[in-house]
Amino acid sequence: MRSVFPATLKGLAAGLARGDFTSVDLTQHYLARIAALDPRLNSFISVYPERALAAAAGADAARARGANGPLLGIPYANKDIFCAAGTRTSCASRMLDSFIAPYDATVVERLTAAGMVMSGKTNMDEFAMGSSNETSYYGPTRNPWNLDCVPGGSSGGSAAAVAARLAPAATGTDTGGSIRLPAAFCGISGIKPTYGRVSRYGMIAFASSLDQGGPMALSAEDLALMLNAMCGFDGRDSTSAPRADEDFTRELDAPLRGLRIGLPREFFDAALDPAVGSCLEQALAVLRRLGAECREISLASTAYAIPAYYILSSAECSSNLSRYDGVRFGHRCADPANLEDLYTRSRAEGFGAEVKRRILVGTYALSAGYYAAYYAKAQRLRRLIKEDFQAAFADVDLIAGPTAPSVAFRLGQKAADPVQMYLSDIYTTAVNLAGLPAASIPAGFVNELPVGLQLIGNYFSEAKVLNVAHRFQGETDWHQHTPSWIGST
């Protein structure tokens, strides 16, 4: 078996098509890397070697019969928020530690239909609530670039796995930045599609009006290939957008001459680390050389995005997580004295501190006497944020800025201060409130830690976002850098 394989999905697909290696070879390679390197990272909750090798053998048999899809036989890592039949789907919570999914999420169905091989389920913040991957019941994931730093959350396990070359691609979910922030912190590419693009069926809910699944990979081209498989209307999801399938690779090489890029003054403020800002200026200079025009814009209402987001998302999580009561499914306490004791102790034991905090905030915001003051006002702010974006897109084609105000911080640095932790999402939450597509791509390093450039598009303009990202990556090599300790792929 080969010891080194191409890094990207496109390279792997070409090698498989030529017969340079088989899917079984490739899957064994990534399983070996997981076994050797993941004990230092803790990026996986569950690994399924037998299942993966059986799927890989099936992909090789399909190829022998003449099949040749762009993702056929390529392994991927699946965030442990997506149900996959017969596997533990825990959401990194004690509450669901013993839950075995009885069916596949639509995302898993579609990736399986494309011939991809699921190697395992990745670590995450509990029920996707967090910005650092430190709230997991199974312990924190570590950043491959510095093992003392966080990988970002909530999709930190997926990001770390891709960055450490334990998988060439992974699924993630983004409720307030949970694909983009870990992509930035780990130096990979990730995209949150327009709300409704990717079915939420089988994706365990945190905040239903904000949650959106998406891919994480090394390059924008790989994201496009993953989106081609993941997107599509699903009648089982009432929020699924009734859009025709499209090829997200179609505009990758389109020229950027004449493209109008908006730079929100609110994103280049005092909260932004000057060293990160310097990297972004250099990245924007690359886009200008490619023919794009950058102009300052204002998104004034985004100043209220953090409070609006945390009220609305907490309110929705309070409702969604009420189903975990120790009766129907989820953790059940031992020897309850009565029904009230069953509810109280099962939830107290099953949920971690951050989940409890958000349930309490959400329940308070929805309670009689406070609904109008908090929840209703946050909904009005959400509308204003959406209107600000729409006004901006009347004058520009794309919006660019930082993904995060700093590079990855140290494990434990913000764990005792929830407000400081929440401010990690200062540049990402507005996108979810508006339901827009946005990507984060690598744009440099500060203190040997990656910096992310965020690209925000108008509704259903993922192909244009990926076009700009791809052209940028054609001029830079930030997305090709790897942590020195992980070895060759």
Which residues are marked as active site? 79, 154, 178
Give the span between the Cα atoms of 142 and 145, in whole angstroms: 9
Cα 414 vs. chain centroid, distance in angstroms?
Answer: 21
Query: In Å, how far are 158, 243, 389, 455, 475 from 386, measured between CA atoms?
Result: 29, 21, 5, 16, 33
Query: For residues 105 and 86, is the Cβ–Cβ distance under 8 A?
Result: no
- Output the six-digit token pair for 460: 């259903």
Q: Specify the 3-state DSSP secondary structure of 172.
A: strand
- Alpha carbon separation from 165 to 24, 72, 112, 236, 403 (Å, rounded): 17, 19, 21, 34, 22
CA pair distance 309, 175, nearest whole angstrom: 9
Retrieve residue 394's tokens: 């009347």
CA-wise closest residue to 200 among 221, 218, 214: 214
DSSP annotation of 78: E
Tokens of 188: 């990979």
Among 430, 393, 400, CA closest to 294: 400
**Strand 260-264 with 75-79, pairing:** unpaired
Task: Say how far apart CA 181 and CA 404 lie, in whole Å.
Answer: 7
CA gap 292, 154 in Å, rounded: 33
DSSP symbol at 203: B
ω into residue 154 within 30 of 0, thus cis? yes
Q: What is the SS3 assignment for 398-461?
A: EEEEECCCCCCCECCCCCCCHHHHHHHHCCCHHHHHHCCCEEEEEEEEECCEEEEEEEECCCCC
Q: Give SS3 for 465.
A: helix
Task: Report residue 77 as tokens.
Answer: 């890592």
Classify residue 131 by its DSSP letter: S
212 vs 225: CA distance, rounded Å: 18
Half-sphere exposure of 412 (CA within 13 A, CB side): 3
User: In this structure, are residues 259 and 288 in contact, taking their beta carbons and an 8 Å threshold?
Assistant: no
Place of tokens 């702010």: 381
Structure tokens at 157: 């396990």
Of 373, 233, 231, residue with least CA distance to 311: 373
